[in-house]
Amino acid sequence: MKIVILNDYGYLNGGAGQIALSSAIALARRGYDTTVFVAVPPIMPELRASHLDVVCCDQHDILTDPRRLRAAAQGIWNVKAARRMDQLLDGLPRGETILHAHTWSKSLSSSVLRTAMRRKFPVICTLHDYFAACPNGTFFNFPQNRICRLRGLSCHCLRSNCDVRSYPQKLWRFARNMVQKHLGHLPKGVSHFIVVSNFCQDVFAPYLPAAAGVSRLDNPIDMPQSEPVEVHENRRFIAVGQVTRLKGVDIFARAAAALQAEAVFVGEGPCRAEVAAIYPSALVTGWKSRGEVVQWLRTALALVFPSLCFETQGLAVLEAAALGVPAIVPDTCAAREMVGDGATGLWFKGGDADDLARQMRRLLDDAALARRLGQAAYDRFHRQAPTMEHHLDGLLKIYEAVLGA
């Protein structure tokens, strides 16, 4: 079996990239003939040292390319990447090769997937986001700051000014998705989809072709088991990730300010100043290494995951659980699947800072509750930890089933 992993970037820049590149390295270590196909350098050293092949198109991502017309064209249909994919496939046996796409919307475009489909190579997509159905990839209306319930690519969708930047940008995204759908044959030409939550699968259900297979496979989280955090001794609430409105950072800041609670945002983003204006006592650490994130989580009473959008999973919730730190999550996103309300963590009404503050207050006032939730989260995670080895076992079963179909 030969495996080609597709990802926009050759380095780690988020959860999807972490899954794509770390799984490629792990597949190569198991002895599988693995190639990583990316658009944007640099290539992280771990890939170079892992006895796998790397094909890089040496392109910008479409957000940072100084030549904006080139970026606009590349984002809709990346001609150079399609040609490089054609060249790669010339040397690979059809019937023995799997193409597994993780991200493509930031640079590669659907052109590379269509190239493989045209040549009858099976394509698998992991749905880390909602770009296969929604023009802005989130089912979120940014100007209105709320979840969008419109059908993706409908007339109502076209008229909706939902983009984070401008309506012209929305029209470009809409055009990109129309090209992706009709010229790129996405999602109809994909052999198999991998979802990371039942919530995500339910959102995608109206958009995926009936003939395509769909498998649920948890993202790998390799967190060595150690003694659980004594969360009842902590007083700090921590959020991990991008400091943006989409991630609900203003909700968390307002809730913490109402309680005068210690709040830490482990991450970076354009809303740093807004967080400081809402709650000057809050700390925004900037981006931290994985090890540093873990150390911050060990100081937490709870993880706050205040995202306003659907999400597809929410890795930080599981990473916190692995340490014995309970999470407070909105009832409107996929993260609720990983938290039993009142059992391993708490839910709050999505977008409601007052209700978030109410749940935070419960933990501040009830050390026994915090300790019970943290221990239960820890036990649940380690009962069947989603390690990379378990992830690879599931992944290889999917590959074999698709090749054998």
Does position 405 have pLDDT exceeding 80, yes or no?
no
d(CA 374, CA 206): 37
CATH of domain 2-132+186-220+387-404: 3.40.50.2000
* Domain at 231-383: CATH architecture: 3-Layer(aba) Sandwich (3.40)
Domains of the chain, by residue range, sit at 2-132+186-220+387-404, 231-383
What is the rounded distance in angstroms from the CA atom of residue 84 to the CA atom of residue 246? 35
- β-pairing, 192-195 vs 213-216, is parallel
Residue 328 three-state SS:
strand
The CA distance from 262 to 232, in Å, is 14
Q: Which pLDDT score is estimated for 118?
A: 97
* pLDDT confidence of residue 265: 98
Across the strands, what pairs with 98?
3
Is the pLDDT at 105 greater than 90, yes or no? yes
pLDDT confidence band for 190 (50 / 70 / 90)? very high
Q: Which of the 8 DSSP states describes residue 338?
A: G
Q: What is the pLDDT of residue 20?
A: 96
pLDDT at 174: 98
The pLDDT value given to residue 102: 97
Q: Give residue-wise pLDDT tens across range 322-380.
A: 999 999 999 999 999 999 999 999 999 999 999 999 999 999 999 999 999 999 999 99
* Mean pLDDT along residues 219-241: 94
Predicted local confidence at residue 188, as pLDDT: 95
The CA distance from 260 to 240, in Å, is 19
Q: What's residue 15's pLDDT?
A: 82
* pLDDT at position 249 over 80: yes
Same fold for the pair 2-132+186-220+387-404 and 231-383: yes
When pLDDT is cut at 50, 70 and 90, the band that residue 202 belongs to is: very high
For 190, residues 6+ apart whose C-beta sits below 8 A from its C-beta are 113, 117, 123, 124, 125, 209, 212
How sure is the predictor about 250, in pLDDT bands with cuts at 50, 70 and 90? very high
Look at residue 157 and tell me whether its pLDDT is greater than 80.
yes
Q: Which amino acid is at 59?
A: Q
